[in-house]
């Protein structure tokens, strides 16, 4: 199982990267850090700088077809920057177009909204995104983890770091299933 982790050069919530990364590794998978720039990604522990992580691939160098699934970690600044980068938005949209599963936690659904893949789907997020998701045509729910099969692929979402255990278990199970395309 080869899994893309998409993030901006700065602003990812560290635990929302490291816990899912470890879950993929522990399951025998290959996590790949994809970013909009080469170099290193600066993670945060809420508002404080945390560790940096090496970028494996730049978003323009890869396509959704190279992966079995996509994880979108949160943090506020990370998805806010990603949704302004057309190559990142196109990369995310590519997973939906090819029927590959996507997992997003916390504020990461902002990128899904920008990719125009929320309409008609049920999902959860950090509570402050409720109105954004509703305005984009999605149905927001306050659940630890929400798995939506309304389209050809699975969309797995969670609210916050407290939900990480359930989030990781859910996306690993979905990523292990055969791709729809």
* Domains, the chain, ordered by start: 2-175 (3.40.50.880)
Among residues 46, 107, 148, 149, the one annotated as catalytic is 107
Among residues 46, 106, 148, 149, the one annotated as catalytic is 106
Q: What is the mean pLDDT of residues 56-74?
A: 96
Question: Does 168 qualify as catalytic in the annotation?
Answer: no
pLDDT at 150: 73
Question: What percentage of the chain carries pLDDT values higher than 70?
Answer: 98
Question: Does 148 qualify as catalytic in the annotation?
Answer: no
Q: What is the mean pLDDT of residues 83-91?
A: 98
Q: How many Å apart are CA 22 and CA 117, to the nearest integer?
A: 27
Q: How many Å apart are CA 32 and CA 14, to the nearest integer?
A: 15
pLDDT at 153: 85
Q: Does the pLDDT of residue 156 top 90, yes or no?
A: yes
Q: How many Å apart are CA 176 and CA 181, to the nearest integer?
A: 14
Give me 48's structure tokens: 């404080």
Please give the mean pLDDT across all residues of the chain. 96
pTM for this predicted structure: 0.97
pLDDT at 126: 98
Tens of pLDDT, residues 111-144: 999 999 999 999 999 999 999 999 999 999 999 9
């Amino acid at each position: 199982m080869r899994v893309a982790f998409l993030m901006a050069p700065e602003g990812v919530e560290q635990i929302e990267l490291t816990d899912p990364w470890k879950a993929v590794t522990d399951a025998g998978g290959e996590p790949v850090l994809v970013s909009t720039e080469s170099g290193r990604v600066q993670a945060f522990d809420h508002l404080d700088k945390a560790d940096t992580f090496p970028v494996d691939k730049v978003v323009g160098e890869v396509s959704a077809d190279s992966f079995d699934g996509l994880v979108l970690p949160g943090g506020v600044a990370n998805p806010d920057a990603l949704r302004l980068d057309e190559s990142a938005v196109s990369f995310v949209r590519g997973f939906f177009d090819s029927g590959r599963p996507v997992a997003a936690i916390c504020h990461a659904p902002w990128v899904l909204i920008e990719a125009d893949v929320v309409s008609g789907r049920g999902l959860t997020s950090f509570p402050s995104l409720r109105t954004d998701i509703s305005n984009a045509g999605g149905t927001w729910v306050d659940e630890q983890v929400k798995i939506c099969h309304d389209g050809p692929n699975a969309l797995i979402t969670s609210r916050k770091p407290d939900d990480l255990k359930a989030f990781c278990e859910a996306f690993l199970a979905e990523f292990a299933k055969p791709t729809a395309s």
